[in-house]
Chain A
């Protein structure tokens, strides 16, 4: 009966509120009702508090109007059932430490379970907050559940990421070999394994591949994968619920601990402290630790020195951006996995245009597949051009010679005017050659046009610049790195 009332209440609110407000605050509420009580479950505390403050009174009025009941208890709670989700749903998005959170958070936990509140709220008539006693009970029961072992994680491994479907190329073969070594001999010499590199290059894939390999060889192995922010969040919750010992026991009992993006530990001293001890315990116990990071461990600002040095105790490997052939192979493999046939010339075409990271390749492939299904044609070069024309048009617009000159000048901290000037000392000539070479690679302009754009130079100067840079990229790692950075930023 109340469900029906709630629906008509929703209909009325839809009439009364601007659509935007309605879709933001009323739509996400989940309804649960008993004979006399209405529980509206908000997705989080923020929505709960907002609805409580702005709409609860009106909801009560409407429900009373629709119902014959004189008293209807409307309880607005949030859905983070503390005991069930404490370990994985709370994210310390503001990065502050535990003490700043604790009071607020515990009160949030206290109103999360409608069942526990119903007796109290019914006897108290219309109320939105449980009496203090209920809060205490709830808090205690949350903690008890946690202590009783609810802090357990699922391994959260992504079973789709394996060594078999990891495409190997020059850019990542070393990292893959190291990962395989670790998977075959966990807890031995390569502990921790520290994989670092830019975003979307396959670090997390390799990490999951090791986890899956370990599980395959020992199905009862306790492999725990988590993002560093989840580690922080879990620790925060454990501290609030006085369950830190359970937290410690849990993480020290794993066979392998896989922590992604550890750069997010930066600046979180209490988490670093906790992780430091966990790290030592695991290392002593011969349990494998695998970490990923967006940079070399010594370069993580805001991380304690003792952690930085420990991260380098085992094996550190880099994952570089995949080269053209690898990008094309990744596309073909992903298409195969999706049950789609992607001709190699089509894959090469996409790979040539999109260089920034593998995630972008994935996004483009999804778009191509959707387009093929929409127009009912097989995937070929023509169809790809159609499907991705917006993306490519935008890229063409972004990658103009002018844009390249500006980006290179900014990168090398020289003046834009130097790009066009006649000055020939190396500090400006080298960046100028890099910019010419990038213009040749990223635009369709002819060599004379490129020469013109660089202060009216001859096309042979451009040709010389391209050859020079190509040679230097083979022999000088700095130039290779600079060139790749610019290439990715310009074509991303």
Chain B
């Protein structure tokens, strides 16, 4: 990109990056999970789901999507990323069982922290008593999460445990095309293959790339082609 070239200001333009269950592209083996989550968002009564998978498999997207899905009906859900536990306090879990849905992300971040584990254990007991609906996500399954409190570990094991699988390269191509179409971006097949051969194929990185390409193509008033991608990315 030429720095001296004046860039068009794109005021008011914003990619719709709201996470929904619809715009989540599951790996073929994860379709059942998405249906389960959709049911969990709608149905009443207690339900405890544990999602796990490697980074980039869509755990955060799904939890955010569940919050969005539920909030549409006027309910009060919460999404809590526990990787921010340094800014939060275990008291953050107090009273959450009264909300309509509780989504706790990045559980592995608090594993081994005694106060947090105890708070989570207490939260679990209260949530079951209140028949609350909650979903937790972590990098590993409950049996291998480095949790010190055995009482907490066994409770995590009582969940409906689902693994989120990584998308295959074909599925990642599909994800790029699907998301591009959703955002009204024309992304020719050769460009998809070109990108997949050269870029980090983590879905989040691919989505970020898509946003970059879209922004640049608007600024430069050029269609997205392999030469443009090469130019922007310096490949």
Contacts and interface: CB of A to CB of B under 8 A. Distances in A.
B137 interface: no
Contact of B157 (A19, A24, A359): A359
B32 A370 contact: yes
B78 interface: yes
B56 interface: no
Contact of B95 (A19, A23, A78, A374): A78
A210 B17 CA distance: 53
A258 B50 CA distance: 30
A19 B92 contact: no
Contacts of A371: 32
Q: On chain A, which size bracket covers the interface?
A: 35 or more
Contacts of A294: 150-151
B169 interface: no
Q: On chain B, which size bracket covers the interface?
A: 35 or more
B77 A200 contact: no
A44 B50 CA distance: 24
Contact of B78 (A43, A80, A90, A356): A43
Contacts of A27: 67, 71, 76-79
Interface stretch (A67-75, A240-248, A390-398): A390-398
Interface string A353-370: 000110110110011001
23 contacts: A15-B14, A20-B64, A23-B67, A23-B68, A44-B91, A44-B92, A44-B93, A45-B91, A46-B94, A47-B92, A80-B95, A90-B94, A95-B118, A261-B151, A356-B143, A360-B157, A363-B157, A367-B160, A371-B32, A390-B163, A391-B161, A395-B143, A398-B144
Contacts of B159: 363
Contacts of B129: 156
A339 to B, nearest CB: 15
Interface stretch (B119-127, B181-189, B226-234): B119-127
B26 to A, nearest CB: 13
B67 A363 contact: no
A356 B157 contact: yes
Contacts of A44: 91-96
Contacts of B193: none
B36 interface: yes
Contact of B94 (A80, A199, A367, A390): A80
Interface in A5-55: 15, 19-20, 23-24, 27-30, 43-47
A24 B88 CA distance: 11
Contacts of B4: none
Contacts of A23: 64, 67-68, 77-79, 103
Interface string A185-226: 000000000000011100000000000000000000000000
Contacts of B118: 93-95, 229
Given A359-B155, A360-B158, A46 B89 contact: yes
Contacts of B144: 394, 398
A374 B32 contact: yes
B78 A199 contact: no
Interface of B: 14, 17-19, 32, 35-36, 50, 60, 64, 67-68, 71, 76-81, 88-96, 98-99, 103, 115, 118-119, 122-123, 125-126, 129, 141, 143-144, 150-151, 153-155, 157-163
A23 B80 CA distance: 8
A79 B32 CA distance: 36
Contacts of B89: 46
B79 A360 contact: no
B112 to A, nearest CB: 16
B95 A79 contact: yes
Given A44-B92, A294-B150, 10 more contacts: A23-B67, A27-B77, A28-B78, A78-B95, A94-B90, A156-B129, A198-B150, A229-B118, A359-B158, A374-B35
A417 interface: no
Nearest to A391: B161
Contact of A89 (B79, B90, B91, B95): B95
A385 to B, nearest CB: 14
A63 B68 CA distance: 22
Q: Name, among A90, A91, A367, the residue most crowded by chain B CB atoms within 10 Å (CB to CB).
A: A91
